[in-house]
Amino acid sequence: MKNFSNAAFSPEVIEVMTAALAAGVATLPEPTHSSHVNALAESILRTASAGERNVANLQRIALMELQLAQRN
């Protein structure tokens, strides 16, 4: 996982990010690979750091980035 040691989030934002990650992971096919979960988490952290606070948007962006990464 990339270094997010300087990131700081309020409890409310952490709840939003947690919900986005759970929703994103729920859409992945079984068996779920840890690398896919890590990719979703990194995307959500990066996008939340940029100011996004909507659960659906965080989930959508993370899943799109994962799909694009798998094409390469």
Instruction: Give 35-72 pLDDT, tens digit per residue.
Output: 999 999 999 999 999 999 999 999 999 999 999 988 86
* 46/60 Cα distance (integer angstroms): 13
* 40/27 Cα distance (integer angstroms): 11
Residue 6: predicted pLDDT: 77
Of 6, 53, 32, the closest CA to residue 61 belongs to 53
Residue/partner pairs of 31-34 with CB below 8 Å, 24 or more apart: none
What is the tens place of the pLDDT at every residue in 1-41? 566 677 789 999 999 999 999 999 999 999 999 999 999 99
- The model carries a pTM of 0.89
